[in-house]
Structure 1
Amino acid sequence: MSEILTPAQVGAAGLADWRQLFHALQTRYATGDFATGLALLTEIGRAAEEADHHPDLDLRYGHLNVRLYSHDAGGVTRRDLRLAQRISELAAARGVVAVPQLLSAAEVALDTPDRARVEPFWRAVLAEPQPHEGEVRDDSGDLPRLWFQASGSEEPRQRFHLDVMVPSDQARARIEAALAAGGVLVDDGMAPTFTVLADPDGNRVCVCTMEGRDG
């Protein structure tokens, strides 16, 4: 049960309410008001206690965000699939609709020719409690992920850029909206895994999906 599933395995589970973004399963429920969201959150809490497996819950007026992954494994496991299905059942019983198309998650990418040289500094300054290979990650979700992207030593280069992870079925619309807003397509050779765009000043961003990734 602690085996980390690949994005393809997660997708094959057919969880219509859920999308994998980075290392976690996520969904958003359109509760419409705070009281409905609080009631659903309470039911999810009971189910989590019964399963001895606990999601991250973020209640706002009008919606409830749910994030699921196995902290001991560092990714999505079959425990998460089971609890996700149970949460979907609880939401459906209340008539609460999932809106996973509204999901996105961002990480900060640092271009560096020598990750080993700079990584210890960022782990220290961000006070990462538990190291993760190749990235600095706050599993509480309070801080964005910091990922180290290998680059050459040539100058100039954009040292930081954002990676915006979106559901696979939303990537094309997000890219088209960015282009319509004045953006420029830089590189789509690795699409749909990631597509590189730039704003009118040349600042780059990657629109990413989990499609084509091993984990």
Structure 2
Amino acid sequence: MTILTGQQIAGEGLTGWAFFYNSLETRIATPNFAAGLALVAAIGGAAEQADHHPDVDLRYSYVDIRLTSHDEHGVTARDVRMARTITALAADDGLQPASDAVSRLDLALDTPDRTRVLPFWEAVLGLVPADEADVGLDLIDPADRLPDLWFQPSGDQEPRQRWHHDVWIDPAEVQPRLDAAVAAGGRVVSDEHAPAYWVLADPDGNNVCLCTWEGRD
């Protein structure tokens, strides 16, 4: 199947679902654990029928859901269909998906020589090389628990920040997050590449990027 672009996914009008470069994600708040379990069971039945299975994380007061077509390394029409099915199942129980509560964290290491340091981080974190189709990623967690890791070229002059975070959020959440970060003592370093990403810094000058799908197609 064809991988959908961010703009194509936005055109589908999936209320409450966020797109993070290769997945659709949402959080459905539930009144209790039993309600969450019942929702997961309903999703499981629909997934079996469609032969397309989401990643589901059941907690006491919510269910997190992630949809991706692993064989295509991205989001396809079948993920959109499954998202609509899950939204309908949630609505049957008076529940609804929400995109403001979900985000994705990637780690980037700035280094002048990725080949020298990559094997160490692969070993110490228990990561594995990412598929070639996962553009921009170098190492991933096969258990999908740790953040993805990639290496960014840098100069070799000290001092310099080595690690930085890439936080993927829904575009609608960017301005509230920017406002909160600045109110907390941070600053916007650059919006040159917005809306793909904004660079922020904490009061000590440590950088973090707020990333969205927009401006990348």
Tell whether the structures are fold-level matches, with TM greater than 0.5: yes
**SS state at 2:149 partner:** strand
1:159 is aligned to 162
Aligned residues: 213
Give the 5 Å matches for 1:1-215.
1=1, 3-129=2-128, 131-133=130-132, 134-138=137-141, 140-214=143-217
What's the CA shift string for 1:182-203, capped at 9, x where partnerless?
A: 0022111111211111111111
Whether the 8 Å CA contact 1:31–1:97 is kept in 2: the answer is: no
RMSD: 1.6
What CA distance in whole angstroms lies between the structure 2 residues aligned with 1:172 and 1:140? 32
Residue 143 of structure 1 aligns to a residue whose secondary structure is coil
1:85 aligns to what SS in structure 2?
A: helix
What's the CA shift string for 1:66-120, capped at 9, x where partnerless? 0010112221112211111111111111110222111111111111223344334
Q: Distance in 2 between matches of 1:166 and 1:131?
A: 22
Of 149-158 and 190-199, deviating more is 149-158
Distance 1:41 1:162, change over 3 A: same
* Whole-angstrom distance in 1 between the partners of 2:159 and 2:17: 40
The code of the aligned residue for 1:193 comes to A
Mapped to 2, the partners of 1:120 and 1:78 lie a distance apart of: 36
Any stretches of 5+ residues in structure 1 without a counterpart?
Answer: none
Name the CA distance, whole Å, in 1 between partners of 2:131 and 2:122: 10
Change in Cα spacing, 1:4 to 1:126, as seen in structure 2 (3 Å) is farther
Amino acid at match of 2:176: A
| TM-score, structure 2 normalization | 0.91
Secondary structure of residue in 2 paired with 1:101: coil
